Structure 1
Amino acid sequence: MTTNPSAMRSLRVLVADDNPLNLRLAARLLRDMGHSGVLVTDGHKTLEALQAQRFDVVLLDVTMPGMDGIEALALLRQREAGLRHTPVIMVTAYDMPEDRRRLLEAGADGYVAKPLDGQRLAAELARVVK
């Protein structure tokens, strides 16, 4: 059975990326899919936003200054131990099988490669958000 991404409910998405162009692209793609996005620029702001608000899913860039996505993901998973699980889709320019495996082993629920593509993003959102 194939999931139809366009039939998905509207999601609140936290988007973390240090590149303003990537943030704008993600925001536009999410808006076009009927989702709302909150944009942050590093791992510290990601964790602050997750502590202050509830999100259906997080799009988390792997490489950011200060605190990168892998470190932010590890801290998120520690914080939520025994609590509500927040799906995290890692976003990276590196698209090799070993990169995907490493991110999933680190606790990510999904993975999309840059540059973001609307169809791939919609399919991954539908896959990880149940």
Structure 2
Amino acid sequence: MSTSPAQCSRPLRVLVADDNALNLRLATRLLREMGHSGVLVTDGRKALQALQAQHFDVALFDVTMPDMGGLEALAELRAWERAGRPRTPVIMVTAYDLPEDRRRMLDAGADGYVAKPLDAERLAAELARVLGGRPS
């Protein structure tokens, strides 16, 4: 299922951070089917570098990545934002799908949460919820 124009007012520019090539390909395909574009990185440190260099409407961070995981990258991003950087919504993507896992992600500063494996309907719904249906 793809998002409808009513869910997103314009194509999104999405940063996708995941160390698994299959997950990156799947995210790219789903985003493209929804009319969005993705920039792909393989760890949290590279995600932070991309966020420093470019604007993204939203970021998808895998929780577990080498070098720097998604939660660590999220903590550093939120610290930058407290220092004056514009806020970037972050949706955590993880195989952990228990209610306490979701609460832990949101308490860490995530705007949303999607369990793996990604599917178009859940991803579209979470993007629309996090961005309020009106991407900036």
TM range (shorter): over 0.9
Work out the CA distance in 1 between the residues paired with 2:14 and 2:81: 17
Secondary structure at 1:111 match in 2: strand
Query: Which residue matches 1:89?
Result: 91
Note the aligned Cα RMSD (angstroms).
1.2
Matched, 1:59 2:57: no
Q: Over residues 30-68 of structure 1, what are the superposed CA-to-partner deviations in whole Å (9 max), with x where a residue is unaligned?
A: 000000000000011000000000000000000001100
Q: Over residues 87-125 of structure 1, what are the superposed CA-to-partner deviations in whole Å (9 max), with x where a residue is unaligned?
A: 000000010000000000000000000000100000000
Normalised by the length of structure 2, the TM-score is 0.91
Among 115, 118, 128, the alignment partner of 2:117 is: 115
Work out the CA distance in 1 between the residues paired with 2:86 and 2:128: 19
Structure 2: segments with no counterpart, 5+ residues: none
Work out the CA distance in 1 between the residues paired with 2:122 and 2:102: 15
What count of residue pairs does the alignment treat as equivalent?
127
Measure how far apart 1:10 and its partner are. Answer: 0.6
Work out the CA distance in 2 between the residues paired with 1:60 and 1:6: 24
Measure how far apart 1:129 and its partner are. Answer: 1.3
Measure how far apart 1:83 and its partner are. Answer: 3.3
Measure how far apart 1:80 and its partner are. Answer: 1.2
Work out the CA distance in 2 between the residues paired with 1:90 and 1:23: 14
Work out the CA distance in 1 between the residues paired with 2:39 and 2:85: 22
Identity across matched positions, percent: 76
User: Where does structure 1 differ by over 4 angstroms across 4 or more consecutive aligned residues?
Assistant: none
Measure how far apart 1:6 and its partner are. Answer: 1.4
Amino acid at match of 1:112: V
Work out the CA distance in 2 between the residues paired with 1:5 and 1:31: 11
Structure 1: segments with no counterpart, 5+ residues: none
Q: Over residues 69-89 of structure 1, what are the superposed CA-to-partner deviations in whole Å (9 max), with x where a residue is unaligned?
A: 000000000011143210000
